[in-house]
Structure 1
Amino acid sequence: MKNRYGDMDPDEFRKAAHQVADQIADYLKELESYSVLPDIAPGDVKASIPKDPPASPQPWDDILQDYRTLVQPNITHWQHPGFMAYFPSVASGPGILGEWLAAGLNSNVMFWRNAPASTEVEERTVEWLRSMLGLPALFDGMLTDTASISSLLSITVARHAVPGLDARQSGLAAGKLPGRLRLYQSTEAHMTIDKAAIVTGVGLDGIRRIPADAEYRMRPELLEAAIAEDRENGWIPFCVVGTLGTTSSTSVDPADRLADICEREKLWLHLDAAYAGTAALAEEFRHHFKGWERANSIVVNPHKWMFTPFDASLLLFRDRDQFRDTFSLVPEYIKTPDTGEVHNFNEYGVQLGRRFRALKLWMMIRYFGSDGMAARVRHHVEMAREMRSWIEAEPDWEMLAPTPFATLCFRYAPKDVDDLDSLNEAIMAKVNKSGDIFLSHTKLNDRYTIRVSIGNPRQTMDHVRRCWELLKEAAVS
C-alpha cells in the first residue's frame, strides 16, 4: 500500500485481480478434487484465525494464501457437481463475473437519481425474467435477496390491503379490527412464511395449516371450509400462500383453484415458487403453474435453479401501487427532482440501500440466452427422470413422491427390516462420507426420505450414476 491514507492503488489492484481470477478459475476447474463436505470439526477454522485483528498492513499475497489454505478447502462445496442436497445454488461463470463487476461499481440501487443505469438494468431484467417465465406483462417486480424477504414483503402488503386495518399508520395494537388476522398455507409450506407471520404481527397462532393430499398438495376444498369456519368464529382471513414446488417433495399446490377461492373470498394470493418457478423457462413444464398468473404476488429464486450467484430473488406483483402505498417514505434528505417520475426501488420494500443484483442476471441471460437456460433446466429434469427409472426398477427401493421437476424423494425399503428410518439415515450418512456426493433428507408422512436434487449445469449423467451406485453400495454394506 503506497498511500497510508488511501486504498489499494490501481496497479496493485490489477495484479491482485488477476490472481483472484486465476484462483476462481482454478477452483472451478478442480472442483471434483475436493470432498463435497470438508473433514473438519466445529471451531477448527476459527481457531486458526488470530484472536486479535492485525494492527499493521499485511501483504496481499499472504492474505490470498490464507484464503487458499484456510477458507476454500474448508467450505461445503455447493458448486461441486456431487452436491445434490437441499436445492441447487450454483454460481455460473457469467454470473460470477457480473457479481464481480457489480462489486467494482458498488452502486446503491435505492433510487434512480443515484443509480440510473443500475435501476433501469434491473427494470429491464425483471421484464425479461417475467417474459421468460411465461407470465403476462401486467406483472411488475423487483429483485430482493431471498424468498424470505420476498414473501415477507408480499404478506406485509396483503396485511396493508385489509379494509379498515391501516396497520401502516396505527399498527396492530390500535385494535381497529373486530378479530384476529388469519393466514392460510399448506402443511408442506416453507417455514419462511411462519417467520413472515411472526414479523407482521399475524403470529404463529394466526396461521391455519391446510392438510395436503396424497401427493403433498394443498387441498382446496379444505381451504374453503377453513375460511368459512374462521369467518364464523371471528377470524379475519386475509392471505393464502400457495407453494409451487415445496421444499420437501417439490409438490405443486393447485394455483388455479386457490385463485378461484381467493377471488371469491377477496383474499391476497401469494405463490412461493422459489425453487420450481425456474422450470417455467421451459414451456413444456408450464402446465404445473396453471393459474399462477392470477396471483397477487409470486416469488422465484434465480439463485436456486437458475445458476445465479447468491443472492437473487425475483418478486413479481400485479399492482405496484399497493407495494408503494405500503412502504413508501420520502423524507427531505432523499427527495430528488425526479421523484414521482421514475422507479425508486426503495419505495417498494423495507430496504433503502440495495445491491446491484440485476447486473449478474442481465449478463447471464445474454450469455446463455433464454433458450440455453431452458435447455439446461430441461436436461436436469431428464437426468432426474432417468434416475427415477433406476429406482423404480429395483424392488427394494421405493419412490415416496412424484418427480415433477428435478428433485427425487425415495428410500430403501427391504421387506425384512422394521426400522427403515434408521436404515435410510445410515445409508445417507455413508454416501455423504464418501466425499463424492452430498445428499439431504426430509420426512414425508413421517417416513425418513432421502432427497436427490439435480440442478447444477456442471452435473452430467456420470455424476447421477455415481450417486446411485453409492446409494446401492451403502444399502447392502
Structure 2
Amino acid sequence: MTPEDFRAYGHQLVDWVADYWRRLAEQPATLPVQPPVKPGQVAGQLPSKPPAHGEPIEAVLADLDQIITPATTHWQHPGFFGYFPANTSGPSVLGDLISSGLGTQGMLWSTGPAATELETVMLDWLVDLLGLPARFHSHGPGGGVIQDSASSAALVATLAALHRASDGAWRTAGVDRRYTVYTSTEGHSSIEKAVRIAGLGESALRLVEVDPQTLAMRPDALRDQLAADRAAGATPALVVATIGTTSTTAIDPLPQIGEICTQEQVWLHVDAAYAGSAAVCPELRWTHAGVAHADSYCFDPHKWLLTGFDCDAFWVADRAELVAALTVLPEYLRNAATSTGAVIDYRDWQVPLGRRFRALKLWFVLRWYGAEGLRAHIRHGVALAARFADLVRADDRFELVTDHPFALVCFRLRGGDDASNERLLTRLNAAGEVFLTHTRVNGRYTLRLAVGSPHTTEETIDALWRDLRRLAELA
C-alpha cells in the first residue's frame, strides 16, 4: 500500500467511522445493541484459508459491512447500559491512528523518548486532574504508567507487594513462604487471577466480609483476618480496596483500611477502575477519601473518560519498589541512557517487555476536551443515572437495591423473585434497543443499568423506562 493508497483509503475509512457514529446517535434503532447471531455464524461466513493473492480494499470493506458490523455488539450505542462503559471518542481514535502510524515500540526510553516522556507527563496531568496524592507525581519518589487494564495493574501491584513483604527475597527464592492477599467479597475477579498468576494459589486469597447495607469492606473484619493469618504463620502481603465495585459501585472505607495497612505494614492497592474517572469532578472527590494511604492506585480512562481501550492509569507511591520487583536487563537491552539512571524505562513497570504508544490517545483526549469538557461528560452520566433512579423510586413496582454515587443504578422488581427479574431482563434485551446486565446483591438477582455512552440522552432513558414499565406487566 503506497502512501497515496493509504491516503485515499484512510479518508474512506474515517468517513466510515464518522457515518457509523452518526447512525448510532441519530438512528440507533437501526442497529440492535446486541446482534441477533448464533455461535459460529461469523466464522461460517469467512474462508477457511487466507487468500493466495492480495484482495482490493473494496472487498474487505464489503465484508466489513456484510459480515462484521451486523455481528458486532455496539458498545458506543446510546442504549448500551451493560457492564461498565467502554467509551471512545474522535480525539482518542485519531491519537490511536497516529500511534499505529508511528509504530513506536516504547519498551525503553531509548526506543521511544517521546513515548516515554509524554506518558510520564500525562500521568502527572491526571494526578492533578483527579486530585490524587502528590506522592504519585513523577517529581517525587512515585510515578505513573499506562497498563493495558486494571487486571494488569492488580497483578503488578501483587508482584510489588510480594517483593516488599519478602524484603526482596521473592525475586530469587520465589514464593518461599505463605503470603496472603485480601479484598472484599465484592472485589474484582482480577484479584483472584493475580494471586494465581503470582504463584500463591487460590488458598492465599482472603475475601473479607462486607457491610450488608453498603456492600463495602468491613475494616474490623479485615483486622481480624490479618491477625488470624499472622497467628497461623502467614505473611499478609497485599490488601486491595475498591472505589466503585463492579456489581454495585460500593466504596470501601479507605481511611480506616489505610490506617490498618499502615499499622500492619501491608501494601494497599486501590482499584478505582470504573469510578476513578468521577474524581475529575470536585464534587465527587469525596469518594476518594483516604486514598493518600495507598501504595498504588489505578483507574481506567478507557471506561468512562472517552479514551479508547486499552488505557489503565496506574500509580505507585514508590517507583523504586516496583522497578526492583520487575526489572530484568539482558545485555541486548543495555544502552547509554538506561545506564545513566536518569530516564524511565517503562518495561520495568509492567509484565510484558513491549509496549504501544498509548499516551498519544490520552494526550489527544485531554487536550481536545480539557478538564471542563471531561467534567461535563461525567456529570452528564451521573445526571442521567439519577434521572433513571428517580423514575424507579417513584414506581411502586420497582425498588432501588443500593445507593448510586456514580452512573450505575441497581434495581429490581419489588417483591419479585429471581425468575421474574431474569425474565424482565431477557425480554428487555431481546428487543435490541438497549442492553443491560445483572448481578446478585445479597443473593438476589438484580438488574444493572450503567450509563456511559456520550450518545445517551434523557430521551434514551425515558424510552427505556417506558419499555421496563410495559414489560414489568409480563414478568
Find the counterpart in structure 1 of residue 104 from structure 2. Answer: 107
Once the two structures are superposed, residues 364-422 of structure 1 have per-residue CA deviations (whole angstroms, 9 ceiling, x without a partner) of: 000000111012101211111111111111112111111111100010124xx5xx111
3-state DSSP class of the match of 1:464?
A: helix
3-state DSSP class of the match of 1:30?
A: helix
CA distance, structure 1, for counterparts of residue 375 and residue 96 of structure 2: 22
TM-superposed deviation, 1:17: 0.4
CA distance, structure 2, for counterparts of residue 164 and residue 363 of structure 1: 41
CA distance, structure 1, for counterparts of residue 409 and residue 202 of structure 2: 30
Once the two structures are superposed, residues 12-42 of structure 1 have per-residue CA deviations (whole angstroms, 9 ceiling, x without a partner) of: 1111101111110111111212010111101
3-state DSSP class of the match of 1:222?
A: helix
3-state DSSP class of the match of 2:270?
A: strand
- Does structure 1 conserve the Cα–Cα contact (< 8 Å) formed by 2:262 and 2:293? no
- Does structure 1 conserve the Cα–Cα contact (< 8 Å) formed by 2:168 and 2:325? no
TM alignment of 1:292-307, pairs within 5 A = 292-307=291-306
Question: Unmatched 5+ residue regions in structure 1?
Answer: 1-7
Matched letter for residue 68 of structure 1: D
Find the counterpart in structure 2 of residue 70 from structure 1. Answer: 67
CA distance, structure 1, for counterparts of residue 180 and residue 331 of structure 2: 37
Find the counterpart in structure 1 of residue 49 from structure 2. Answer: 52
Once the two structures are superposed, residues 152-187 of structure 1 have per-residue CA deviations (whole angstroms, 9 ceiling, x without a partner) of: 001110001014561111212xx3x4xx11111100
3-state DSSP class of the match of 2:238?
A: strand
**2:150 aligned with 1:152:** no
Find the counterpart in structure 2 of residue 382 from structure 1. Answer: 383
CA distance, structure 1, for counterparts of residue 52 and residue 252 of structure 2: 56
TM alignment of 1:1-40, pairs within 5 A = 8-31=1-24, 32=28, 33-40=30-37
TM-superposed deviation, 1:336: 1.3
3-state DSSP class of the match of 2:135?
A: coil
CA distance, structure 2, for counterparts of residue 281 and residue 141 of structure 1: 17
CA distance, structure 1, for counterparts of residue 314 and residue 267 of structure 2: 15
Count of residue pairs the alignment pairs up: 461
TM-superposed deviation, 1:73: 1.8
Of 119, 123, 128 in structure 1, the residue corresponding to residue 120 of structure 2 is 123
Question: Which moved further from structure 2: 129-138 or 262-271?
Answer: 129-138
CA distance, structure 2, for counterparts of residue 314 and residue 131 of structure 1: 13
Q: Percent of aligned positions with the same letter in both sequences?
A: 39
Matched letter for residue 62 of structure 1: A
Once the two structures are superposed, residues 180-234 of structure 1 have per-residue CA deviations (whole angstroms, 9 ceiling, x without a partner) of: 1111110000000000000112211111111100210000011111111111111
CA distance, structure 1, for counterparts of residue 296 and residue 167 of structure 2: 22
Find the counterpart in structure 1 of residue 412 from structure 2. Answer: 411
Find the counterpart in structure 1 of residue 354 from structure 2. Answer: 353
- Does structure 1 conserve the Cα–Cα contact (< 8 Å) formed by 2:119 and 2:359? yes
3-state DSSP class of the match of 1:458?
A: coil
CA distance, structure 1, for counterparts of residue 455 and residue 50 of structure 2: 38
3-state DSSP class of the match of 1:387?
A: helix
Find the counterpart in structure 1 of residue 401 from structure 2. Answer: 400
CA distance, structure 2, for counterparts of residue 206 and residue 352 of structure 1: 28
CA distance, structure 1, for counterparts of residue 361 and residue 129 of structure 2: 16
Once the two structures are superposed, residues 432-459 of structure 1 have per-residue CA deviations (whole angstroms, 9 ceiling, x without a partner) of: 1111110000001110000000011111
Find the counterpart in structure 1 of residue 459 from structure 2. Answer: 462
3-state DSSP class of the match of 2:440?
A: strand
CA distance, structure 1, for counterparts of residue 351 and residue 438 of structure 2: 34
Matched letter for residue 200 of structure 1: A
Find the counterpart in structure 2 of residue 87 from structure 1. Answer: 84
TM-superposed deviation, 1:430: 1.0
CA distance, structure 1, for counterparts of residue 363 and residue 167 of structure 2: 41
Matched letter for residue 202 of structure 1: L
Matched letter for residue 236 of structure 2: P
CA distance, structure 2, for counterparts of residue 41 and residue 135 of structure 1: 45
Matched letter for residue 305 of structure 1: W
Of 426, 430, 438 in structure 2, the residue corresponding to residue 429 of structure 1 is 426
Question: Unmatched 5+ residue regions in structure 2?
Answer: 137-142
- Does structure 1 conserve the Cα–Cα contact (< 8 Å) formed by 2:133 and 2:291? no
Find the counterpart in structure 1 of residue 270 from structure 2. Answer: 271
CA distance, structure 2, for counterparts of residue 348 and residue 53 of structure 1: 38
- Does structure 1 conserve the Cα–Cα contact (< 8 Å) formed by 2:425 and 2:447? yes
**2:305 aligned with 1:312:** no
Matched letter for residue 188 of structure 2: H
TM-superposed deviation, 1:137: 2.7
Matched letter for residue 461 of structure 2: V
TM alignment of 1:334-345, pairs within 5 A = 334-339=333-338, 340-345=341-346
Matched letter for residue 24 of structure 1: V
TM-score, normalised via structure 2 length: 0.95
3-state DSSP class of the match of 1:449?
A: strand
TM-superposed deviation, 1:469: 1.3
CA distance, structure 1, for counterparts of residue 286 and residue 154 of structure 2: 23
Matched letter for residue 150 of structure 2: A
Matched letter for residue 379 of structure 1: H
CA distance, structure 2, for counterparts of residue 11 and residue 363 of structure 1: 25
TM alignment of 1:363-382, pairs within 5 A = 363-382=364-383
CA distance, structure 1, for counterparts of residue 420 and residue 39 of structure 2: 26
Question: Which moved further from structure 2: 37-46 or 346-355?
Answer: 346-355
CA distance, structure 1, for counterparts of residue 344 and residue 370 of structure 2: 26
CA distance, structure 2, for counterparts of residue 105 and residue 151 of structure 1: 30
- The structure 1 segments of at least 4 consecutive aligned residues displaced by more than 3 Å after TM superposition are none
CA distance, structure 1, for counterparts of residue 181 and residue 426 of structure 2: 38
Of 118, 137, 140 in structure 1, the residue corresponding to residue 134 of structure 2 is 137
TM-score, normalised via structure 1 length: 0.95
CA distance, structure 2, for counterparts of residue 201 and residue 80 of structure 1: 40
Of 201, 204, 215 in structure 2, the residue corresponding to residue 206 of structure 1 is 204
Find the counterpart in structure 2 of residue 4 from structure 1. Answer: none
Find the counterpart in structure 2 of residue 3 from structure 1. Answer: none
Structure 1 residues 311 and 164: CA distance shift in structure 2, 3 A = closer
CA distance, structure 2, for counterparts of residue 350 and residue 163 of structure 1: 19
CA distance, structure 2, for counterparts of residue 230 and residue 112 of structure 1: 42
Matched letter for residue 82 of structure 2: A
TM alignment of 1:155-166, pairs within 5 A = 155-164=158-167, 166=169
CA distance, structure 2, for counterparts of residue 288 and residue 114 of structure 1: 39
CA-atom RMSD, angstroms?
A: 1.0
3-state DSSP class of the match of 1:299?
A: strand
